[in-house]
Amino acid sequence: ETGVTQTPRHLVMGMTNKKSLKCEQHLGHNAMYWYKQSAKKPLELMFVYSLEERVENNSVPSRFSPECPNSSHLFLHLHTLQPEDSALYLCASSQLAEQETQYFGPGTRLLVL
Amino acid sequence: AQSVAQPEDQVNVAEGNPLTVKCTYSVSGNPYLFWYVQYPNRGLQFLLKYITGDNLVKGSYGFEAEFNKSQTSFHLKKPSALVSDSALYFCAVRVSYSGNTPLVFGKGTRLSVIA
């Protein structure tokens, strides 16, 4: 599990706060992903970065803003979130090929009050 | 479009008995199929995948899965369940030659192994 790390592991924020989630991968991969996991719902893909360029944005509200400064780091900037945004946010990375496995970090458990 | 179904929300098995977690898929093309496991307060851990070749795939922790093209299934199996296997299991699919389209995950099956 140390291949993909995420910080913080837990975060509580008010609706007016601004915070950032950080993901770092130590696997030499060139694609990174943000997923949202809510109770009773399937895993939702939010963003995909391929070679540090965003290639997927699945109709995610603008209050979520991703950033990929290099192939090893991925951020998710949060501002003016809503209580329904409370969830487990998972980062993953992989090599850029269809058969390649995505490896996940431990997630950040976010609670929006 | 591609999709994956895990028809059981919950599977209960006695320790030492064989376990099966079901997965069926729908794709237009050849599938790449994956199984992941999630323990409480953890991310998803990769178990095994089918890309091509032998229909029986062996993975981590004694798990295996059989690709069945005619039934469009990829059920996860283990000959003898352990209490420590209790977790949430996800099946995922991607179409081959699809230009790196996203993985599509099932909704998950909670496995409970009872001592």
In angstroms, rounded to a whole number, what is the distance separating the alpha carbons of residues B109 and B6? 7
Residues of B in contact with A103 (CB under 8 A): 46
Per DSSP, the three-state class of B83 is helix
Read off the pLDDT band of B100 (50, 70, 90).
Answer: low
How many A×B Cβ pairs under 8 Å? Answer: 57
Weakly modelled stretches of chain A, pLDDT under 50:
none
- Given a contact cutoff of 8 angstroms between Cβ atoms, the answer to whether A89 and A36 are in contact is yes
Tell me what pLDDT residue A93 has: 95
The pLDDT tens digits of the residues spanning B65-78 come to 999 999 999 999 99
Residue in chain B lying closest to A102 (CA) = B46
User: Which DSSP category does B99 fall into?
Assistant: S
The pLDDT tens digits of the residues spanning A78-106 come to 999 999 999 999 999 999 887 889 999 99
Chain A interface includes B89 (CB < 8 A) = no
Four-point Cα dihedral B83, A7, B108, A47, nearest 10: -160
Chain B interface includes A106 (CB < 8 A) = yes
